[in-house]
Amino acid sequence: MPKHKDISSQFNSGASTEPEPEPAPESGSDVQQNEQEPPESRHLLLTRCRQGAMRSLKGLTRVSSTVVEQFTGPRQLHRRYWFWLGLGVGGGAIALGGGWLALEQSIPKSSADVLTFVRDDTITIKAADNTILQQIGPATNETLKIEEIPKLLTHAFLATEDRRFEKHHGVDYQGIFRAAVSNLMAGGVVEGGSTITQQLARIVYFDQERTVGRKLKEFRMAQKMEQELSKDKILERYLNLVYLGSGAYGIADAAWVYYSKTVNELTLPEMAMLAGLPSAPTEYSPFVNEKAAKQRRDIVLRRMQESGYITPAQAQEAIATPITTRRSNPKRLERKANYFTEYIQQELPKYVSKEVLAHKGLIVETTLNLDWQTAAEEAVKKTVEREGSYEGFKQAAMVAIDPRNGQIKAMVGGKDFYNQQFNRVTQAQRQPGSTFKTFLYTTAIAAGFSPYRGYLDAPYTIRGYTPNNYGDKFRGWINISDALTYSVNVVAVKTLIDVGWEPTIEIAKKMGIESPLIPTYSLALGASELNLLELTSAYGTLATKGVHTKAHGIQRIIDQRGKVIYEANFKGERAIDEDTASIMTWMLRNVVNDGTGRAAQLDDRPVAGKTGTSDEARDLWFIGYIPQMVTGVWLGNDDNKPTGGASSTAAQTWNRFMVKTVKNMEVEKFPERPSQLEGRKGIIQAQPIRGKRAISGNSDSSESDSRSRSRSNSDSSSSRSFSDSDSSSSSRRSYSDSSSSSRRSDSDSSSSSRRSDSDSSSSS
């Protein structure tokens, strides 16, 4: 049994607490001994298993204690770096996987659209009833095969936009790094990292929004395109779709727009110029900045040389070549309301980015009423042809606005758009004459003046400035309501002195006047130049009981994917109180009923408005309104030559248009004026102009005549005369001489010379 004992001791060595097995009783035969050994072996095996299990259990206990200690032990969890590392790696892996899945689901499953994509490269301008007014399209719709494109032209684009086009698989990480370094060293963006494949993906599938999400989609789609399309096909589609400025899409279109050539007729410098356009089509356009265009073209030529596409001699010869173009404009596929649609195109950059505008495919929904537009065009044409021929004016303009929402309903900028595109509604700055008196008297009423406040209409001079009435006729004592009705100039100037320049200018601005207003005495008579659109819009404030809404022509803009990217939301702002507006409307109704605007009367509804004539009848105006509509008319000559006409002709033109447009319009009445006109408390404070004592042709004087102060203010303009005449439009009238400029001068001394500013009022 020694052998058994030795083995037993080996197994029981260590920390085991199991009792040593008792030896089996001896039996004298070997056979019996051998039969007892198997139970001993099984016992030893069981003991070993138990010991192993105990060790495992103890190990697990220690691990569990360690994990639990992270949450319950004295050491803070955030100091267990391995825990956070594991959590971060695990969470990052989950997020990365989820992000990749989301990215895959957000892009098209196939790049087949690249082969069939047709760019909607027009801007479509629509009237309020969805009628197409104008479509502006490309010069050509030519699509070229890769073999039809000159190799030198493709090389110019590759050298500029994607040097490693043949080597990368959609995304050029080396190019991204190179561009980042170049931009960092230059201190600005001088090189982009987008491949031609990425740019094509952006054109076909994505918008121009600069976000990380869009860039990731672009990356992944470019890789997918490279897997499914050949390099030649990608390059071919890119060269046919890339925007190259000035309404040109693709190289065939650009060759025609900039040079009136086909691609096969282009020279090396011309090819290089086109290849330099994709990154900034407007900034590098030779039509916009010839110097920048040449600098960009020369960079392209140097890159072509560096890439081995041209020799140094070819590069130098091309660089020495000046920029030359032969412009061919984009097609106008539709033509209606020409002045209005040109105005809309000028307004577009205010509401959409240049990137969105450059890629076109836009639908612009406007406020234009096509029936009203037709009536306006007919009225303007008839007036110029009939009255203009013998009254001496060759041009006319008209605009109609819904004052309740500021929507422009009709706009005619001249008699013939095809002869001259100058828009006299928005671009012509002219002296408004007596139409400006409306803002002066609105200020007076807002300051608490009664419309029955009286002034002496007599020869009058203040600090060298002498306003004259039309025909040098004076009416004696007259209230300001009648002075407006008969357009009396002397009373207008005296009222301005009592009200003040600053309040008058402020009220005019609130009502919608945007042009600068010069604080001179002749401001009362319309010396500061305005345009017809702002003047008409400002009158609309009175039609809406003192609330002004900015005039606008664009209602909505929709991109090529049907997304509304702009919608008008102009809110009216109170400019004057309702009482002031209703009193002024009552006064302006008297102008139409009994005064200079009688030619504007409508049979079935009330009309309020004001005539205006600048010196020598150079400008003939009428601005009139009903509750639902305000319309402005201007007649005159572009060269500022005097006419022999009268403002009554402008009122007649207004009537000619309005008679047609109000046929199916509900008759609405103006609000009643307040019963209390005397002793009203104003909403603003008058700021009288307290200059030196006025020189009056009569011993009696107005309130303003008796005020004096040390401050001297002289109108340094030469005289100007402003008049309204109710005489027949064929009669000729004489006006006092005037100069075109007026300036304000503040001085403590009186003027060394007396000047006469003959601002004549009309009886028309």
* 744-747/712-715 β-pairing: antiparallel
Range of the domain at 726: 400-550+574-747
d(CA 491, CA 470): 13
pLDDT score of 97? 61
- Which residues share a beta bridge with 460? 696
Residues 271 and 404 in one domain: no
Catalytic residue flag (residue 391): no
Whether the Cβ atoms of residue 468 and residue 703 lie closer than 8 Å to each other: no
Residues 421 and 518 in one domain: yes
d(CA 324, CA 326): 7
pLDDT score of 139? 64
DSSP per-residue letters across 163-209: TTTTTSSS--HHHHHHHHHHHHHHTS-------HHHHHHHHHH--S-
What separation in angstroms does the CA of 177 have from each of 116, 181, 307, 317?
Answer: 33, 6, 19, 32
Residues 634 and 492 in one domain: yes
Residue 605 included in any domain: yes
Residues 419 and 498 in one domain: yes
CATH number of the structural domain spanning residue 722? 3.40.710.10
Residue 619 included in any domain: yes
Choosing from 111, 246, 434, 762, which is the catalytic residue?
434
3-state secondary structure of 655: helix
What separation in angstroms does the CA of 574 have from each of 138, 450, 530, 542, 669?
Answer: 45, 22, 22, 11, 21
d(CA 208, CA 206): 7
Cβ neighbour number for residue 310 with a 10 Å cutoff: 23
Place of tokens 């997918």: 224
Give the tokens for residue 685: 């404070």
Residues 199 and 304 in one domain: yes
Residue 500 included in any domain: yes
Phi/psi at 213 (nearest 5 deg)? -60, -45
pLDDT score of 104? 57
Residue 493 included in any domain: yes
Angle, in degrees to the nearest 10, between helices 231-241 and 250-259: 40
Angle, in degrees to the nearest 10, between helices 312-319 and 290-306: 180
Residue 10 included in any domain: no
Cβ neighbour number for residue 90 with a 10 Å cutoff: 10
Residues 640 and 740 in one domain: yes
3-state secondary structure of 21: coil
Phi/psi at 164 (nearest 5 deg)? -105, 30
pLDDT score of 475? 95
What separation in angstroms does the CA of 617 have from each of 251, 322, 342, 732?
Answer: 53, 49, 29, 10
pLDDT score of 128? 97
Residues 240 and 146 in one domain: yes
Among the candidates 276, 308, 329, a domain finishes at 329
pLDDT score of 179? 63
Model confidence, pTM: 0.63
pLDDT score of 208? 57
Residue 595 included in any domain: yes
As a residue count, the chain comes to: 764
pLDDT score of 207? 61
Residue 749's identity, in one-letter code, is S
Phi/psi at 348 (nearest 5 deg)? -50, -45
DSSP per-residue letters across 599-620: GG-BTTB--EEEEEE-GGGSEE
Residue 8 included in any domain: no
Residues 316 and 444 in one domain: no
pLDDT score of 26? 42
Catalytic residue flag (residue 706): no
Region label for 406, one of left (φ > 0), alpha (ψ between -120 and 50) or beta (otherwise): left
Residues 314 and 413 in one domain: no
What separation in angstroms does the CA of 379 have from each of 133, 372, 414, 746?
Answer: 20, 10, 11, 46
- How many CA atoms lie less than 13 Å away from 411 in the CB half-sphere? 35
Q: How far is CA 283 from the centre of its chain?
A: 18
Residue 30 included in any domain: no
Residues of the chain with pLDDT under 50: 1-37, 692-721, 723, 725-764
d(CA 204, CA 221): 10
Beta strands in 490-592 (DSSP E): 547-548, 554-558, 564-567, 573-574
Choosing from 161, 226, 236, 391, which is the catalytic residue?
161
Residues 522 and 434 in one domain: yes
Residues 405 and 321 in one domain: no
Residue 681's identity, in one-letter code, is K
d(CA 487, CA 505): 20
Number of structural domains in the chain: 2
| Of the candidates 257, 252, 228, 232, the residue with the CA atom closest to the CA atom of residue 242 | 252
CATH number of the structural domain spanning residue 253? 1.10.3810.10
Residues 323 and 407 in one domain: no
d(CA 449, CA 698): 24
